[in-house]
Amino acid sequence: MAIKTYKPYTPSRRGMSSADFSELTRTRPEKSLVTALKKAGGRNNTGTVMVRHQGGGHKRAYRIVDFKRDKIGVAGKIASIEYDPNRSARICLVHYADGEKRYILHPVGLKVGDAVMSGPEADIRVGNALPLKNIPDGSFVHNVELLPGRGGQMMRAAGAQAQLMAKDSGYAQLKMPSGEIRLIPDACMATLGQVANTDHNTISLGKAGRSRHLGIRPTVRGGAMNPVDHPLGGGRGKSKGGNHPRSPWNQLSKGFKTRKKSKIWNWMIVADRRRAKLLG
């Protein structure tokens, strides 16, 4: 993937950049793998806003992506590389030997015509999915399951990858992009390689309109509001007030720990991401 920049013939164009989509080989999705996607605007089933700053945006159709990779032992061939409006990663259309078609995440280096396979007997090759216990130490993986059979939940964004550090007593140690090292059951499936579209994080939207097209609504500072709307609102003229930053519901937003201490899962974190950053 390459990044496209623009001549600054308007102020917003000066800082704008976008993907050139040169890696895509097909413009229309596979009809049998597309379904309707209803917008929620950040609201739950009662209409209450659960996530702020969401709403509007361009209409999208949902592509059904195979995160489970459960076509065990069936050979497949990459038919196309396509755009997916619902994620930062690109997706591949795979034609399997038994006639079925499925979408998978596009890994770096996988081209149209390449073969892919899932299962313990699959080759150690980019795009193949295997249980962690069958993958050599030091390998980079993506689309990793947290529990066997649940489907990949980690390392699914553009450019994401985790490194398999070691295996012991039925668990594999994975080093995350954050530096955290955590245990995963070694029966969990993972796909070899790094998710493609690695330059995604360097894209500059350039103007507010592109955020709105993506369904991202404006974020207003608390200090610009009235006291009735935000704890930091009000004051004589433009005022900072000297208060600690906090949410509209008076929750401290910097340094205040909100995560519950879970004795069930915490033991699976071998090295904390904050400690890993401090150690370098």
Q: Which tens digit of pLDDT belongs to each residue from 57-95?
A: 999 999 999 999 999 999 999 999 999 999 999 999 999
Provide the pLDDT for residue 241: 83
Provide the pLDDT for residue 277: 60
Mean pLDDT for all residues in the chain: 94
Provide the pLDDT for residue 240: 85
Whole-prediction pTM:
0.91
* Residue 150 reports pLDDT greater than 70: yes
* Residue 122 reports pLDDT greater than 70: yes
Enumerate domains of the chain plus CATH numbers. 3-37+61-201+260-279 (2.30.30.30)
- Among 152, 150, 109, which Cα is nearest to 129's? 152
Provide the pLDDT for residue 278: 57
**What is the separation of C-alpha 166 from the centre of its chain, rounded to a whole number of angstroms?**
24
Mean pLDDT over 114-120 rounds to 97
Q: Evaluate whether 82 touches 13 at the Cβ level (below 8 Å).
A: no
Provide the pLDDT for residue 280: 58
Please classify residue 173 by burial: count the beta carbons closer than 10 Å to its beta carbon, then call 0-12 exposed, 13-18 middle and 19+ buried.
Answer: buried
What is the spatial distance between Cα 126 and Cα 78, in angstroms, rounded to a whole number? 12
Query: Which amino acid makes up residue 261?
Result: K
